[in-house]
Structure 1
Amino acid sequence: MLNRVVLIGRLTADPILRYTQSGTAVGSFTLAVNRMHTNQNGEQEADFINIVTWGKTAENCAQYLHKGRLAAVDGRLQIRSYENREGQRVRVAEVVAQSVRFLERSQQNHEQQKSNSRGGQAAKAPQAGSDSYGDDPFADDLFADDLPTDAADAAFPF
């Protein structure tokens, strides 16, 4: 059996970071993902998908992702239910992220990199063996310019 979801979209708001009683970080945000086709009026529609992150991924998302930023999420679909305050059973669908890729550099990071290149200073190189969740969360991530423009050319590396 297989339960895998891969999404690319923009955050609708800044991520929310909380901690469980045992101290484990848990984050949540909503990703707006455009549909492949337009509606009858020629307008682009989007789905708004709830994302849950855990541990260091949750902390990094809270620190580096902000409203409007483009991100890729690789995870699994989870359907859960709970009883609300009115005593009604509510079902919730959400994606539990196994990994989150930051597909755009933040404006601050982009300006700092420009400044470093103009000032003759070399940008800090990532350490060997580090992953995208090390000191530089953008070290090996895809950026918007790297994404294919034609859906037929899309080959996702995750």
Structure 2
Amino acid sequence: MLNRVILIGRLTRDPELRYTPAGVAVTQFTLAVDRPFTSQGGEKEADFIPVVTWRQLAETCANYLRKGRLAAVEGRIQVRNYENNEGKRVYVTEVIADNVRFLESANRDNSGGGGGQPMREEPSYGGGGRANNNNNSRSNNQDPFSDDGKPIDISDDDLPF
């Protein structure tokens, strides 16, 4: 059995941060996810999907996400129900997120240029994200397959079998 969901969309409002009586942080927000087609009138439609995050991820989302920001959410779908004040059974479907990626930089609103630019991160190779202060750092970033199919000089003693 598998219950896994990945969504990319924009927040419809700022996240709401609350704490349980036990002191556990929980954040709720709604993600507007565009549908891959347009309506008969030619308008884009979207689904508004409630998302819940817990603990440290909840505090991080509350601190850095804002209305209109583009975010990727990975998690699972949960359906719960409760009885409201009128005695009716209410069903709630939501995504319980265990990973949220911020797809736009935090200073998007200060750019003065409308829609903002997606955040670009350079991949880090080697060193596990730590700064590489060695003089041979240039050689660490070279493409290991840059020989374009030329034979590789390997002796039989170098082979493990």
Tell me, yes or no, whether TM beats 0.5: yes
Structure 2 CA distance for aligned equivalents of residues 110 and 104 of structure 1? 12
Q: Which has the larger radius of gyration?
A: 2
The CA RMSD over aligned residues, in Å, is 1.9
What secondary structure is seen at the aligned counterpart in 1 of 2:63?
Answer: helix
Please state whether the residue corresponding to 2:7 is helix, strand or coil. Answer: strand
Partner secondary structure for residue 60 of structure 1: helix
Helix, strand or coil: the match of 1:79? Answer: strand
CA separation of 1:45 and 1:108: change in aligned 2, threshold 3 A: closer
Local SS of the residue matching 1:2: coil
- Equivalent-residue separation in structure 1 for 2:45 and 2:109 (angstroms): 31
Structure 1 length-normalised TM = 0.69
Residues 1:67 and 2:49 are matched in the alignment: no
Correspondence list, 1:114-125, <5 A:
none
1:95 has 2:100 as partner: no
Cross-structure match for 2:24? 24
Task: Please state how far the C-alpha of 1:52 moved relative to its aligned partner.
Answer: 0.2
Distance (whole Å) between structure 1 residues aligned to residue 66 and residue 38 of structure 2:
27
The alignment-based identity, stated in percent, is 63
> 1:55: how far off?
0.6
Q: Aligned partners of 1:36 and 1:101: how far apart in 2?
A: 21
Aligned twin of 2:79: 79
- Between the two proteins, the alignment pairs up a number of residues equal to 115
2: CA distance, partners of 1:55 / 1:76: 16
Give 1:3's aligned amino acid. N
Taking the aligned partners of 1:67 and 1:128, their CA distance within structure 2 comes to 33
- C-alpha separation in 1, matches of 2:92 and 2:108: 36
Flag structure 1 segments of 5+ consecutive residues without an equivalent.
112-126, 131-158
- 1:19-66 deviations in Å (ceiling 9; x for gaps): 111111000000000000011111100000000000110000000000
Deviations 1:88-124 (A, max 9, x none): 000000000010000000226976xxxxxxxxxxxxx
Distance 2:108 2:48 in 1: 27
Q: 2-side partners of 1:110 and 1:67: how far apart?
A: 14
Aligned to 1:138: none
Q: Distance in 2 between matches of 1:110 and 1:41?
A: 35
